[in-house]
Each structure stands twice: as C-alpha cells, then as structure tokens.
Amino acid sequence: MKVTMKDFETRLKETIHKTAKMGFSEVDAEDIYRALGVIIQEEIGEDWTKTHLLQQELNSKRMYYLSMEFLTGKFMEKHLHYLGIFPEVEATINKLGYSLSEILAYENEPGLGNGGLGRLAVAFLDSLASLRLPGHGYGLRYEKGLFRQKIINNEQVETADDWLSDSDHLQYKRDDAIYEVKLGGHVETVYNDGKLNFKHINYESIKAEAYDIPIVGYQNQMVNNLRLWKASSYEGIDINEFSRGNINGAFNRMNRASAITQFLYPNDSNYEGRKLRLEQEYFLVSASLQDIVKKYLKKGLPFSEFYNHIVIHTNDTHPALAIPELMRILIDEHHLEWDESFEIVRKSFAFTNHTILSEAMETWDINLFVATIPRIYQIIEEINRKFMDYLRYERHIEDHNLLNRLNIIWDNQVRMVNLSIVGSFSVNGVAKLHTEILKNSELNHFYKLWPQKFNNKTNGIVHRRWLLMANKPLTQFLETLIGDEFEYDALQLEKLLKFKEDQDVLNTLFDIKHQKKVELAKLIADDYGISVNPYSLFDVHIKRIHEYKRQLLNVLHIIYLYDQLKENPNLDVVPRTFIFAGKAAPGYGAAKEIIRLINALARLINEDNFIKDKLKVVFVENYSVSKAMGIIPAADVSEQISTTTKEASGTGNMKFMMNGAITLATLDGANVEISEAVGDDNIVIFGMKADEVYNHYANNDYRSREVYENNRTIKTIVDHLIDPHYFKDHETFGSLYDELINRNDTFFVLKDFMAYVEAQKKISELYRDRDRWLKMSLMNIAKSGQLSSDNTIKQYAEDIWKIKRI
C-alpha cells in the first residue's frame, strides 16, 4: 500500500465520520483508534483475499500448525509496519494533534499465550507469511487468556484478563466454519455387512466457531491465516430450570461448553482442571482436523493424495490427539480401512518436542481419557496394539523393559510423546543440545527404532518485531551503517562487524542503549515509584517463573551482594539494577514463593538508604510481549541461567542478543548456538555441563546439604530464608529452604552458586571496561541474524514440510 499523508488524512476523517458518526473536531483518541482499525482491516482484507485465491489457483501444498498457544503481542503497530505505512500514519496522527503511541495504547494485549511455546508459534507464522510460504495456524480463542498478574503484599494475585473487550479489528468471525465436537458418552460397536462400525452415543455436543486473525507478511502483500476456535453450546437457556428458579441450572450447559475456551491452562492440580485441559486439547484438534479435511475435499482429490497436499505440524504434545482424530474422521466418517488410514496419518504429521522435563511429557489417566473421549481412546488402543505387534514380530524386540518404555499406553496412563512419535514422520528438537539429549538419552529408545525421523531445528525469533519495532533508534542507526537489507534478511547484520573498532560507532551504540535505559527507568518510576539509575548495570531476568529457570539462583546472588554492602557500604561495586518479570502457574506453589521472595527482597533493598543506591531490585508485573519490547532493548545483561539439560532452547536469549545485551548463561538450550556464534570472548558461561548433570543423576551422588554445611557463604545466604529478622515484616521462606536443603536442591542451585558468583564478578569487570563491553555488544548484534526465525522456517520448509514459496 502506497499512501501519502494527505491521502491518509482524508481517508481517516471519512472513516471516523462513518464509525463515530461525528466530525473530526468532536472525536477523541479512542475514536481515532477504532477508525484506524477499520482502515487496517480494509487494507489487509484485499491482500488476504488475493493470497487465498492464489494458493487455491496454484494448488500449493499447505502446512497447518496446531498449537495450544499463540503469544501474538499487539497487532496494530505491527500491521502498520508490515503494510509499509507506519511513517505516513505517524506523521498524519501527529499533525492532527495526537501521538500515535497514545492511539496504539487502546489496544489490549491478546491473551492467547504465556511463554516461549506460544511466542515461537507466532514467530513461525510471521516468518511463513514474510517468506511467502503457505502455512496457517490453528489455536483456541481464550476469552480470559492466562490471567492478569498483580503483586499484592509481595505475592502474585491472578485476575481475569478481559482482552477480548475491544478486539474487533483483530479477528473475523467465519459463520461458514462451524463444527460439532463430541465429548463424553460411550461408543457402541456393531457389525454391519461383516464390518465393524462405531457409534458414539449419549455424548455432549460442543459447537466450535471459527474466528480468523490475518497473519501479514512483511511488506509483501502476503496474508496467511490463524484460525481460533470458540466453544459454545448448541442449546440455549434451559427454560424449565429457569422457570423453577434454578438460575444456575438454566445456564449449566451453556457455561459448561463455553468454559472450554475461557482460560489458557486451567489449574490441573485437581480432577476438574485436568478434565477441562483434556477437553481443550481435544476440542482444538477435532475442530481443526474437521476443517482441514473439509478444505481438502473441496479440491476433489482422493484421500490417498492427502499427504502430498497437506502437512500438519503439532507444536509439542498438546495437539497430539490430532493423530487419532484424523484416524477417526477417515475411518468413521469416510469409511477408509485402518491400514490405509494410518498410512495417510503417519505421512501427514510432523512433531516438535519442546522439553525434556517429565512434567511436560504429557500423560493422561486412562479412566479420565475413556470418560472424556471414548472413541479416541479406542483408536489409540488399536494404534498401540499394532505398534506392539510391529515391535515384537517385525523388529523382534523381546526386552520387556524396552517394550514398556515404547508403549503408548502403560501403567494406566496414555503417553502423548509416544503417540506423537509413532504417528509422525518427523520428530525435531529445538536446539542442538536439546536434540542430542533426545536422541542419546530421553528418547533414545525411539531414536534407535527410527533414527531417520529425528532432526534438529534450532528455534529463532522475528527480528522485525524484536529489532525493527522494539528498538527503532538502533534500527535507524544500523540503516546508516549497513543499509536496510537486514530488515528483509537478518543475516545481513553481520556487515556490522566491519565497525567493531570504530570508536564513533561504539559511542553511538552506548548512547542508544543509555537512552533505552532512561526510558525504562522512567516507566519503572511511574509504575512502581522506584528510582533506578540509568548508568547502573541493568541485569535482566524476564521469563516464565519456574524452578529450572533458576530465578532463585539470581536472588541468592543478590542477597550475597546486599550482605557485602551491608558489611561495607563503601565497597567499590558496579551499581546494579536487577529487573525480573514473569508469571507463575496458579497451581505452582514453589514458583509463586519465588515471586514472593523477589518482591520481599526488592522491598528490603530499595528501602535501605544505607547501601547508597548501589543495588535496586524491580519486579515488573503482568509480563507480556509489549512489556518485553520495552525492557529488552534496555538490558545490559541477559540472564539465561537454567539448569543445564532442562531448557529446550529459549528464545528470550536471542532477543537480548539482537539488542546488544551480553548473555550470562549456562551451556543449555540455544545458549550453545549463541556461544558458537559470538565466540567465548563475547558471552559469559558458567556452571555444570550436560555430562556433569547426567553423571550426578546416574550416580545419585549430589548432596546439597553437604554443600550448604561446608560453605559458610552459602549457608549464611540460605539461612536468611528462614530468619524472621532478615526480611521486613518477619517474612520467611521455609518451603524454598526445604527445597534447597531437605529435598536435595533438584535443580542444582547450590551446586552452581559459587560459579555463578564468579561469573557475575566477570560481568562487573567487563562492564568497567567500556570499550570492551561495547565491542562485545556489537558482536552480539552482528551475529544475532543467525537466530532469525526466517532461517529456521526455511529449514522446516525444505527438510520437513516440503512446501514452496508462492
């Protein structure tokens, strides 16, 4: 879209007249926001239609990406950039007496995801559209998102996130895409003409309604699709119950159905929560597969050609039920034979494993499974029976322990990882180390069976959002140095390396970083009343709160620094501002205690004038994509300190790297790739390596109490957790103390503590050497293009999906 300021001003005023029914002099900023949304809809709609028609005309093979999360961030600013009209729109809005940032602030943050899984899904859709590849997403339209986080009395408090209250410009309801999803009931098996037939009866009928969000390619007129499903009831209010005065009963069926898409990740620490989670997963895949099959049949092609035209990718195990659901559709609805159906299925599905944590290796209780999705359980039983026969009679495996590990159904549990591997033609990890761990340890039994299925695809990030949008001053400066090719091809950032000895360039990089720190310091002061020094080192740890991500290790080190300053307030230290952000799952007690500890420590330190502002601690509540875009460009240090072997990849590490932060890390996840890209001199690595961690597991020889009792520094710090006189208001943290000492420190916090202290000392030394630090920062920016999601998607497209650029 090519537009002049004059053209856009005219169009904006005309649209305001239509939407607000007022003249421009009578409207406010919110009216302008709504009118701008309408204009964006109109511009995207034309390209969206053309893209759809072109893909149909070319009969392109399509990839469908199934994910429980899509952490999109806000859309309006992104759309303005991707349509190529941001400068003109901003100038026009300014001319009319408003600021564009004021207008954009009216948009709610979509509550469709939580962490890296959802952000990666969105990055992939973005890159698919920007590379002109036919790839579309399927997810759930969560009405209340995950939750809105507030910190009250140092504790996380969860409230509903009503993000859908004003999102009309984001989504389009599709009345021609409504499907029935069946839950509960039971299955009757009957013979008819010598063939088994299956009839699902007494089930609860849930309506799946489609809402589409356009995924716009970067300035290329390509628009792919993200389809989200809303759950509702086919039945209205029960009039009989209402007439009796039973108001709750009258709405029971409606509420039961809509609950499926109310919240992302219901608390699964109880039966009802687990049941709702399973219903969510099946609802997603059933609606999506019915939709995919319907679209395919419109082509007039036989099912035997299905996998030549369609590939379905499951983002971790949450959508694994898509495998038996496609079997159900082929067998029960289209009457294909079992063997033909399974041949189609196993050639159609690819699977990404995102973790090695046992808690994320999804399993489901058989009784819950049978009660919720009985026909799907029958199909999985048969898949497993045939798989076991294959192992015994074709692969001649007799080892009972090995057969037990390979079983999809075992010990009264349905194993979703096993189902995903058996039913897919490709299984990929998301970083080199992660994939090697899968192949050599966690999934070695499957790797030996099918080594050809396993491959690595290191995650990536959208540089268009995390550099071009999040850090406009840096982007503009890079344009003056190396041109604008990097905006379309992130690998071009390497051209920056020729300036690594240019003092003027280094000074400008310092100025840009400092300005971002000033902006963040103002936000912190405005939102939390905490004054932070923008000349201090901004040490940032923002991600989902989890024990393996080791926010606790960071906190113990801050206590260590604070104790040193209390002992000697004149100690010559690099002033530090420690910034945390992240949400804990509502049912995850330990993570919520870590949040309470961070905030208790922040209060203790920030109110202590004795240490002369040499330390500050800030917890930014309700972490989101938008907040990350404000924090990451201001970071000096990127904390990536997970227990080695626990983080599959991570993508926050890449975003910080792209904005010139120095990574402080264990050799875990994609930290390995970052280290290889920038070299050992431009990253600070500490802690145990993967083989050391596995040796401790194998030998069972780690004793955290011994570390605690034999190291006075560690003992003093850990004892503060249970000292009622250390924190304000006599707060103590006995459960965290117990985890470290009495439950043997599952994630090796104390084992790595002294190495972390030394790594932090190295960070301080490097930061004091301004030129050295800036050269490291430049190197990180220059090498970050290697970790663009565009590069990752090219590999998926060529190696796994076999889809071609349009």
Structure tokens at 285: 């895949």
180 bridge partner residues: 207
DSSP string, 523-576: HHHHHH-----TTSEEEEEES---GGGTHHHHHHHHHHHHHHHHH-TT-----E
| Sign of the torsion angle spanned by Cα atoms 358, 360, 362, 368 | positive
Single out the catalytic residue among 453, 513, 543, 783.
543
Specify the residue for token string 């990127």: 638
Which DSSP state fits 115?
S
Burial 438-469 (b: 16+ CB within 10 A, else e): bbeebbebbbebeeebbbbbbbbbbbbbbbbb
Q: Is 544 a catalytic residue?
A: yes
Rounded to whole angstroms, how far apart are CA atoms 373 and 187? 10
- Record the tokens describing residue 42, joined without a space: 């109109």
Question: Is residue 334 annotated as a catalytic residue, yes or no?
Answer: no
Q: Which of 655, 720, 775, 783 is catalytic?
A: 655
The single-letter DSSP state of residue 405 is H
Q: Is residue 294 annotated as part of the catalytic site, yes or no?
A: no
Strands 637-640 and 662-665: parallel
CA dist 233 and 207 (Å) reads 6
For residue 60, count CB atoms less than 10 angstroms from its CB and return exposed for 0-12, middle for 13-18, buried for 19 or more. middle
* Nearest in space to 350 (alpha carbons), one of 802, 804, 806, 787: 802
Annotate 197-210 with b (16+ C-beta within 10 A) or e (fewer): eeebeebbebbbbb
d(CA 655, CA 650): 10
Confirm whether 655 is a catalytic residue: yes
Instruction: Pick the catalytic residue from 34, 227, 328, 354.
Output: 354
User: What size, in residues, is the chain?
Assistant: 806
Cα separation, 49 vs 54, in Å, equals: 9
The string of DSSP codes covering 141-166 is --SS-S-EEEEETTEEEEE---GGGG
Evaluated on CA atoms 505, 507, 513, 518, the torsion sign reads negative
Residue 395: C-alpha distances to residues 398, 406, 448, 762 (Å): 9, 13, 11, 54
Quick check: is 549 catalytic? Answer: yes
Residues 644 and 690 sit within 8 Å (Cβ to Cβ): yes
CA-to-CA dists, residue 642 to 71, 583, 601, angstroms: 22, 16, 21
Q: Cβ neighbours of residue 164 under 8 Å, at least 6 residues apart? A: 108, 111, 141, 143
Amino acid at 68: M
Q: Which amino acid is at 82?
A: Y
Q: Is residue 651 annotated as part of the catalytic site, yes or no?
A: yes
Cα 80–626–607 angle (5° rounding)?
A: 150
Residue located via tokens 């999601």:
789
Active-site residue identified among 434, 464, 549, 557: 549
The Cα 2–Cα 737 span in angstroms is 61
- What are the two backbone dihedrals, phi and then psi, of residue 514, each rounded to the nearest 5 degrees? -65, -40
CA angle 422, 428, 430 (to 5 degrees): 145
On whether the CB atoms of residues 545 and 586 are closer than 8 A, the answer is no
- Whether the Cβ atoms of residue 742 and residue 718 lie closer than 8 Å to each other: no
One DSSP character per residue, 309-363 reads HEEEEEESSTTTTHHHHHHHIIIIIT---HHHHHHHHHTTEEEE-----GGGS-E
Catalytically annotated residue among 544, 546, 592, 614: 544
Cα 718 to chain center, whole Å? 32
Residues serving a catalytic function are 354, 543-544, 549, 651, 655
